[in-house]
Structure 1
Amino acid sequence: MTTYNEDSIRSLDWKEHIRLRPGMYIGKLGDGSAYDDGIYVLLKEVVDNSIDEFVMGAGRTIDISVNDNKVTVRDYGRGIPIGSVVDVVSKINTGGKYDSKAFQKSVGLNGVGTKAVNALSDQFTVQSYRQNRTRIATFSKGELLTDEEKDTTQRNGTSVTFYPDESIFRNYKYRLEFVENMIWNYVFLNSGLTVNFNGQKFLSENGLKDLLERNIDTDSMRYPIIHLKGEDIELAITHGQQYGEEYYSFVNGQHTTQGGTHQASFREAIAKTIREFYKKDFEAADIRASIIGAIAIKVQEPVFESQTKTKLGSQAIGPDGPTVRTFINDFIKKALDDYLHKNTDTADALLKRILQSERERKDIAGIKKLANERAKKASVHNRKLRDCKVHFSDKNERNQETTLFITEGDSASGSITKSRDVQTQGVFSLKGKPLNSYGMSKKIVYENEEFNLLQHALNIEDGLDGLRYNNIVIATDADVDGMHIRLLLLTFFLQFFPDLVKSGHVFILQTPLFRVRNKKETIYCYSDEERIRAIDKLGAKPEITRFKGLGEISPSEFGLFIGKDMRLDPVILSKDMKIAQLLEYYMGKNTPIRQKHIVDNLRVELDLEEVLKNKVGA
């Protein structure tokens, strides 16, 4: 039995505890391939402080730059009090947000945010400009290195610069698309705020209306966006042509990507109000089918379900206020009802959309019932799914890690299955190429056994609330057939479950193309450029292996590529990318147009084998 005495008890200081258990403070670590990876949380924690200054009426501009591994945020608020600069970023439970008079409806209330950034950064510098004085403090991994105070002519405010610690965030990379989305959300929710990011100006005049217009194909909207604002609440609603429901929810400017009490109340209140307006007992699913909505509320002392604040747990608006449910329901009941009475064209278009959804639901009811019965029987022994033990919907500290690999063929799925983490990684094996579902109705999801089993494996038939895996990873060979299967799967997701992609759950697995090794070292290379560098490093005549397919990689090696150093490419939809146009171009019947594009963009490259021979010979 292990000895347990006084020597077994350890007392960690603030920075040691954060570095030892970073997940408690910033969620998962990641490498930047997912929008909620730790490096974005670090940035958000710093920017949130600047936003809180703006909300309190101090400073209308924030400058942000992200260049490689260096991040800088400069605001023009009041500036951290000069005497407290070091304490604010290095002492837990120290900050101005415990004073409710100074920050009435702030996101960060626990005094941990910037301390976590400090502790998890290789270099961290904070500088306060206040009343012609400035104080600069620099840290490394939470340890104070320098502290200087002097006169200044700079405008009041605070500047923070940090470099995430590469020993914690391995192989990380900031993806500017994710940072831009974060910044857009800040300006949508804060009218009058200007954010300058890497030389580009971000601002919004119409709040959540602008958010919806940026994130959806306006040509597919069934009626103009309904935009309603009240004290401490704003919402925007429309219906599109897509399947499913799509929501953007916020609390005190925080993007609650996992929803919470406010989003649930929003969905409930919309269905209830519309039933009462039309005086018809519509199915809630028919009312909300194809809905695209956004809601932002402000709450005093919000309660989130984790430090990363992605799901609201608060039941009340404030200590003496109504419940979140009552507050939202009362506002929508009056504001939406008034809007529909005043805008009869919108009311008519909304009714047509609901009736269309009702017809579509009844049309597939029979096949859906049969398909679900088949899926239920298959789930007892689903040969296509090798499940894991923890799921995204579980209240488990590892639920963020949950991953489903979608593979082609038995050989590739066999290698992944043998090397995966059975706690958090599942495997779904495709049989050949899936059907091209472009232009088909949702009936095909139930008629096609493979699609139906995949839908049930993910548990997304009725939306993302019960999603079983945080990461859906398409793992196909890096050849023409593998690329085609990727396109077919992406078509399936974008056609029927676009919110799965828009919410950042879909990825492409990168696996090495080459193994370069000598007797002392093995290097796995994901491109020809990496192969050339590996040959340079290992010297003349190393052994070079070209992996032609995932099935050729042994399970023992595969484990190296789906563990902590797994490389994932996120599937990102840019604001200029309209789903309908995207699918029509790549998967539609416009073959001559695609053929012309390929011919016009052909590239002729030097034979890399010849280059390598010359390089090694030299």
Structure 2
Amino acid sequence: MTYGNESIRSLSDREAVRLRPANVLGSDDINGCFHCLIEIADNAIDEAKGGYGNKIIITKHKDNYYSVEDFGRGVPMDWNSVENKYNYELIFQTLYAGGKYEKNDDDAYAFAKGLNGLGASATAFSSKHMLVRSYRDGYKYEIEIAEGEVVGGLKKEKYNYNSTGTFVKWKPDLSVFTETDIPFEWIKKYAEEQAIVNKGVTVEVYNEETNEKYTYYYENGIIDYIHKLNQGKNFTDVVYWETEAIGRDREDKKDYRSKYQIAFCFNNEINVMESYHNSSFLKHGGSPHEAIKNGFTYAIDQLIKKKGEYKKGEKKITFDDIRDSLIIITNTYSTETSYENQTKFAITNKFIRDFMTDYIKQQLEIYFIENPLEADKIMRQVLINKRSREKAEQTRLSIKKKLQSNINNITNRVDGFVNCTSKDNTKTELIIVEGKSSLGATKQGRNPEFQAIYALRGKILNCLKAEYDKIFKNDVVVDLLKILGCGVEIKSKHNKELNSFDINNLRWSKIIIVTDGDIDGAHIRTLLLTLFYRLTPTLIKEGKVYIAESPLYEIVQGDKSYFAYSDKEKDEIISQLKGKFIVQRSKGLGENTPEMMWETTMNPETRKLIQITVDDVEKMQKYFELFLGDDLQGRKDYIEEHLHEYIENVLD
């Protein structure tokens, strides 16, 4: 390629967007496509926010067309004598052209979302087709755009409309974006966000293909939203603050106006922190999130110190301890906004951060004084969260250290474990037997190439009732997890980092539980299944866990033995035998010969395995929690209800 004076060229606005959409729209995939929808809808939101129209309709049409309709003043489309151009050319054909640059603190666009004059034109340039209609001044104005260029100029006619407003319909161009099918769920989420922060404005969304229609309306804005999030589970009342301020980010900058709406409550089951600015959802927060973090942490820490609730030498709280139980929504506005980038996911205004931090500190101090019972609830819950987090961290470090082991040296480190020779985890089996008395027969009766044995020792811990710190102090549990090799799954907001589970690290193709056929064996089997259910449920869901069905009877005739796994099977075998035979209850595992263990339990060709399935998990969840959980009354009720069935079975 020749690189000379003639190699340098400039791109038109249209070419720049179509060639490099990510530079303006943040992405050239479905995210950039969705950003176009937001840009068009934001203009409608700005109209409603300024008091022009109180309804917006967003439609996902067939064939990946989208439209936004508002009932504002109608976008200006006619001749602009100042710019010596038509306004439709400025708005839909020119980057950095718009009507929101020169705005006063009290005009309709004081807190506008669209600032740079990029959105409408960037959407037009990146569309396969666009239709724009504007109703204003007694006229209907219309333009059509194909692949970013206006076709046929402006159409203008006298029109008797019911309301002024703007309708924009467009189809994103697949030659610009890699994908153009915006998920309807994204559109719904955006629509609800706008209804939340623009109280009194109705936002409708319609999916033409599925005929789905949703209407979002929050009469009291973020207060109504907080009540929705709470689900009635908040343990403090909803608090709402609203204020305004004037300030500047730097001494060499001019003052600007800002508004603040803050609503929060405390909830033990749900935690949410969302911030909006000039009606844009701040995915990454920025200044408002920093203010929430600094303000709440300072005020609650001061409250704990004042009440003397820190233990001697105890570390102070962090915001994570507060956030675990906090639902807070902030909705801020400013006439000057510093966004991180065009996607507007975070703002960086220093004045907003500093003012909001001080405001939250002051308001919380007043709130705690005026509401001592609420203050006490908040303080105690934050301390519970803090101490639970610290306890969880200690547990995490402990279990991480305990589970660090190597398959090559695990044999010498785990009492009762006998490894196999193969390292192919698509063939190897881990056979768990009850007690060391069973180890001899199973060890001699196995195939040592692919079958490993772990003989349990002592009583198995009920993992459903025990706290995690107690579970991971139990040597049998920890040793079994070491042998499995796949880590653990923890269901706790404080133990996220403890979720080390990876099924790809499982060392066995099958995990087989082998116990005696008596009540004690059934109890051990149940406790083992409880362990898997609590700590590694995915192993059950993926069909890795089995129960080896032990024979109930041994029927001996001469030098030949027959094994029956039920009374019915015993009767069937007896009915086919002729001559003398002996029927005896099958011995316990520890009394079996290696040959009998191989034939009845270990041999893949002759053994009977019961695979634990997802349906079993659902049943286990019900009955484990009933019989092994804390529901004492539930157990009593179940026994009373089903006792007659047991008596009838015994009599039979």
Question: TM-score if structure 2 supplies the norm length?
Answer: 0.56
1:349 to partner: Cα distance = 2.1
CA apart distance, 1:361? 2.5
User: What corresponds to 1:464 in structure 2?
Assistant: none
Secondary structure of the structure 2 residue equivalent to 1:117: helix
1:126 matched to 2:132: yes
Equivalent positions of 1:11-410 (< 5 A) are 11-31=10-30, 37-68=31-62, 69-83=64-78, 84-101=87-104, 102=107, 103-146=109-152, 147-154=154-161, 155-198=163-206, 199-214=213-228, 216=229, 218-231=231-244, 232-241=259-268, 246-280=272-306, 282-284=316-318, 285-315=320-350, 323-370=351-398
SS of the residue corresponding to residue 150 of structure 1 reads strand
Deviation, 1:358, is 2.4
Provide the rounded CA distance (Å) in 1 between the counterparts of 2:141 and 2:131: 10
Partner of 1:98: helix, strand, or coil?
coil
Q: Is the 8 A contact 2:274 2:330 kept in 1?
A: yes
> Structure 2: which amino acid aligns with 1:13?
S
Give the distance between the partners of 1:180 and 1:226, measured in 2 at CA. Answer: 27
Distance 1:201 1:188 in 2: 12
Contact 2:389 2:494 in 1 (8 A): no
Counterparts in 2 of 1:135 and 1:432: CA distance versus 1, 3 Å = farther
Distance 1:74 1:239, change over 3 A: same
Tell me the distance in 1 between the aligned counterparts of 2:618 and 2:27: 34
Q: Which amino acid in the other structure matches residue 97 of structure 1?
A: K
% identical aligned pairs: 25
Deviations 1:36-83 (A, max 9, x none): x22221111011111111222211111221124121111111112231
- The 3 A distance-change label for structure 1 pair 119 and 377 is farther
- Label 1:191 to 1:488 Cα distance change in 2 as closer, same or farther (>3 A): farther
8 A Cα contact 1:27 1:307, kept in partner: yes
In the alignment, residue 184 of structure 1 is paired with which amino acid? E
For residue 364 of structure 2, what is the amino acid of its counterpart? Answer: L
- Work out the CA distance in 1 between the residues paired with 2:133 and 2:387: 61
Does the Cα contact within 8 Å between 1:434 and 1:485 map onto a contact in 2?
Answer: no
Q: Give 1:22 deviation, angstroms.
A: 0.9
Tell me if structure 1 keeps the 8 A contact 2:488–2:500.
Answer: no
Q: Deviations over 1:294-327 (max 9, x none)?
A: 2121122211111111111222xxxxxxx12221
Which consecutive aligned stretches of 4+ in structure 1 deviate over 6 angstroms post-superposition?
A: 371-378, 431-434, 486-489, 585-588
User: What is the deviation of 1:486?
Assistant: 11
Counterpart contact for 1:437–1:488, Cα < 8 Å: no
Give, in angstroms, the shift of residue 375 of structure 1.
11
Residue pair 2:129, 2:170 contacting (<8 A) in 1 also = yes
Rounded Cα–Cα distance in structure 1 between residues aligned with 2:489 and 2:232: 24
Alpha-carbon shift at residue 289 of structure 1 (Å)? 3.0
Q: Is the partner of 2:48 in helix, strand or coil?
A: helix
Note if contact 1:86-1:137 (Cα within 8 Å) is conserved in structure 2: no
1:547-605 residue CA offsets vs partner (Å, 9 max, x unmatched) = xxxxxxxxxxxxxxxxxxxxxxxxxxxxxxxxxxxxxx979813799xxxxxxxxxxxx
Distance, in Å, in 2 between the alignment partners of 1:128 and 1:26 is: 24
Work out which of the residue numbers 571, 590, 615 in structure 1 matches 2:622: 590
TM-score, scaled to structure 1: 0.59
Provide the aligned C-alpha RMSD in A.
Answer: 3.5
How many residue pairs align between the two structures?
402
Which is further off, 15-24 or 355-364? Answer: 355-364
The aligned residue for residue 582 of structure 1 is none
Name the SS of the counterpart of 2:242 in structure 1.
Answer: strand
2 CA distance for matches of 1:444 and 1:185? 29
Give 1:112 shift: 0.4
Distance 1:63 1:587, change over 3 A: farther
AA partner of residue 289 (structure 2): Q
SS in 2 for 1:293: strand
**Shift in CA distance, 174/97, structure 1 to aligned 2, threshold 3 Å:** same
Aligned AA for 2:298? K
1:241-296 deviation digits (Å, cap 9, x = unpaired): 359x6421111111110111221122111111223344457412323333232212
Measured in 2, the distance between the counterparts of 1:225 and 1:290 equals 13
Match of 1:497 in 2: none
Q: Match of 1:17, as an amino acid?
A: A
Question: Counterpart of 2:174 in 1: which secondary structure?
Answer: coil
Offset, 1:376: 12
SS in 1 for 2:363: helix
Conservation of the 8 A alpha-carbon contact between 1:222 and 1:353: no
RCO higher in 1 or 2 (8 Å CA, sep ≥ 6)?
1
- SS of 2:171's partner is strand
Corresponding residue SS for 1:233: strand
